[in-house]
Amino acid sequence: MKLDATDLRYVTTDEFRVLTATEMGSKNHEIVPTPLIAQLSGLRSGGVNKCIGSLAKRGLVAKVQNAKYDGYRLTYGGYDYLAMRALSKRGTMGSVGNQIGVGKEADVYVVANDEGESMVLKLHRLGRISFRTIKTKRDYLGKRKSASWMYMSRLAAQKEYAFMKVLHEHGFPVPRPIDQARHTILMELINAYPLRQIAEHPNPGQLYSTLMSLIVRLARAGLIHGDFNEFNILIREDGQPILIDFPQMVSVGHENAEWYFNRDVQCIRTFFRRRFGYESKLYPRFKAALNDEGETAFELDVEVEASGFGRKEMGLLQEYMDSVLEAEAEEDDEEEEEDGEQEEEQEAADEDVEAKAAEEAEEAEAVEDEIADQQHENDESE
Ligand code: ADP
Ligand code: MG
């Protein structure tokens, strides 16, 4: 998706109120009825329609029709706009440059502040994987029934920012976090290539042990990266690795901590064998890593919790991510099984209808604290 920085300047005050009203209405309506947008924006209805029209033309809101009424939903573009506007109001970001990453669950851009200093803006996109598929599997939402792509993406950004901050403060090789708004984080631009793109290395053994030491150092600080692979390790010109991408980070206290730890270790071993033909009998074990004497262990997982990204949010996001993994694994299985029995398909279709009904019921339900949260955030960012 193209981010258009000029948009930041060309939204009128009234259009902005209408856009914010649509965002607020989205918390409990998948499709926000036009009268509700009018009410939340506090504008007269004639004015509102004109604003909605121009916002829709620019793709910041989209018209949706359902059986009962017509309305609008905030698009990714609209949410991106609101986040960037907040950053720009705070003076941390001024313009948008090239896209440098398109992930399954995030887009990454080079942006700049008004001093012309380059930075990286990462926009989380958790809803790309159908919520419907996941909702049928598990009620991961708990009480927060109307959680949506917006909410989950925002949680992911808040989590990533909280971890990046704590890691950076403790001298771990991660980008310097600069700011966070809605589903986005702003961070230092690292001048480096992902390990994935490094064809040759003068001393793979040394890099291997640096990376393994990093995994151990993290564990001793209470954390496991959870996605420690050649895409998320940037290698600077001086050979130093910089670690990125933290939304899936877990505490060493997590029930599957050892599994996550071993997977991170295994990723590096496999990559070094395939890419550099390098194999070593030496690699870290979870329990030994934790009991390692030497530098004093500290508890970054606890520190992150204290920083405002609480246990509740962490749990919610974790459950969502676990269900995505499960849903993906099941999809893979289904592909392998090939033309799956029709019975199963019928079952899935039934589930889908049920899920949709449940989803609609859920969407009708209000989540007051979420709105309060968002309003608070909006107040703060304006
Ligand atoms: P995703 O969740 O999509 O994997 P990442 O945080 O891993 O998101 O970022 C995707 C890509 O964007 C990375 O592989 C890297 O090439 C680039 N990137 C991300 N953050 C930075 C940064 N701070 N500096 C330089 N490049 C970055
Ligand atoms: Mg990544």
Q: Of the residues 244, 248, 324, which should be mutated to test ligand 1's pocket, given the most ligand atoms within 8 Å of the CB?
A: 244
CA of 248 to the centre of ligand 2 (A): 10
Per-residue pLDDT, 197: 95
Nearest to 122 by CA among 61, 59, 181, 194: 181
CA of 350 to the centre of ligand 1 (A): 39
227 is catalytic: yes
CA of 123 to the centre of ligand 2 (A): 12
Per-residue pLDDT, 132: 54
- For ligand 1, whether the C-beta of 321 sits within 6 Å is no
Tokens 């009998």 locate to 281
CB atoms within 10 A of CB 290: 16
Tokens 């749990």 locate to 315
Per-residue pLDDT, 293: 57
CA of 108 to the centre of ligand 1 (A): 6
Q: Which of 46, 78, 110 is the last residue of a domain?
A: 78
* Alpha carbons 22 and 38: distance in angstroms, whole number: 9
Contact by Cβ (8 Å): 112, 6: no
Q: Does residue 141 sit within a domain? A: no
Tokens 């390990």 locate to 195
In one-letter notation, the amino acid at residue 97 is G
- For ligand 1, whether the C-beta of 157 sits within 6 Å is no
Given 80, 227, 245, 301, which residue is catalytic? 227
In one-letter notation, the amino acid at residue 208 is Y
CB-proximal residues (5 Å) to ion ligand 2: 231-232, 245
Per-residue pLDDT, 27: 83
The structure's pTM equals 0.82
CATH code for position 242: 1.10.510.10
Q: Which ligand is nearest to the CA of 227?
A: 2
- For ligand 1, whether the C-beta of 108 sits within 6 Å is yes
Q: Does residue 169 sit within a domain? A: no
Q: Does residue 133 sit within a domain? A: no
Q: Which of 306, 323, 355 is the last residue of a domain?
A: 306
Residue ranges, the chain, pLDDT below 70 = 1-9, 128-147, 292-298, 332, 334-382
Distance set, CA 183 to CA 30, 140, 156, 202, 319 (Å): 18, 20, 7, 39, 18
Task: Give ∠ CA 266-272-276 in degrees, rounded to 5.
Answer: 165
Q: Decide: residue 157, CB within 10 A, 0-12 exposed, 13-18 middle, 19+ buried.
A: buried
If you take atom 11 of ligand 1, which residue's CA is the nearest one?
A: 101
Relative to the CA of 103, which ligand 1 atom is closest? Answer: 3
Q: Does residue 267 sit within a domain? A: yes
Q: Does residue 122 sit within a domain? A: no
If you take atom 12 of ligand 1, which residue's CA is the nearest one?
A: 101
Q: Does residue 167 sit within a domain? A: no
CA of 164 to the centre of ligand 1 (A): 13
Q: Of the residues 99, 108, 187, which should be mutated to test ligand 1's pocket, given the most ligand atoms within 8 Å of the CB?
A: 108
Tens digit of pLDDT for each residue in 263-296? Answer: 999 999 999 999 999 999 999 999 998 876 544 4
Q: Give me the number of domains the chain comprises.
A: 2
* Alpha carbons 100 and 117: distance in angstroms, whole number: 16
Q: Which of 306, 332, 357 is the last residue of a domain?
A: 306
Q: H/E/C letters for each residue in the chain?
A: CCCCHHHHCCCCHHHHHHHHHHHHHCCCCCCEEHHHHHHHHCCCHHHHHHHHHHHHHCCCEEEEECCCCEEEEECHHHHHHHHHHHHHHCCCCCEEEEEEEECCCEEEEEEECCCCCEEEEEEECHHHCCHHHHHHHCCCCCCCCCCCHHHHHHHHHHHHHHHHHHHHHCCCCCCCEEEEECCEEEEECCCEEEHHHCCCCCCHHHHHHHHHHHHHHHHHCCEECCCCCCCCEEEECCCCEEECCCCCCEECCCCCHHHHHHHHHHHHHHHHHHHHCCCCCCCCCHHHHHHCCCCCCCCHHHHHHHCCCCHHHHHHHHHHHHHHHHHHHHHHHHHHHCCCCHHHHHHHHHHHHHHHHHHHHHHHCCCHHHHHHHHHHHHHHC
List the structure tokens of 34.
């036009």
Tokens 């990046």 locate to 164
List the structure tokens of 1.
């998706």
CATH code for position 20: 1.10.10.10
Q: Does residue 172 sit within a domain? A: no
Nearest-10 crossing angle of helices 34-41, 13-25: 120
- For ligand 1, whether the C-beta of 101 sits within 6 Å is yes
Relative to the CA of 107, which ligand 1 atom is closest? Answer: 3
Per-residue pLDDT, 129: 57
Per-residue pLDDT, 375: 52
CA of 245 to the centre of ligand 1 (A): 7
Per-residue pLDDT, 380: 52
Query: ipTM for the complex?
Result: 0.99
Tens digit of pLDDT for each residue in 312-339? Answer: 888 888 888 777 777 777 776 766 654 4
List the structure tokens of 196.
């994935």
Tokens 């792509």 locate to 149
What are the φ and ψ backbone dihedral angles of 351, each rounded to 5 degrees? -55, -40
Q: By residue range, what is the domain housing residue 15?
A: 5-78
Q: Does residue 230 sit within a domain? A: yes
- For ligand 1, whether the C-beta of 232 sits within 6 Å is yes
Relative to the CA of 194, which ligand 1 atom is closest? Answer: 16
Contact by Cβ (8 Å): 194, 234: yes
Kindly provide the b/e burial profile for residues 189-206, where b requires at least 16 CB atoms within 10 angstroms of the residue's own CB.
Answer: bbebeebeebeebeebee
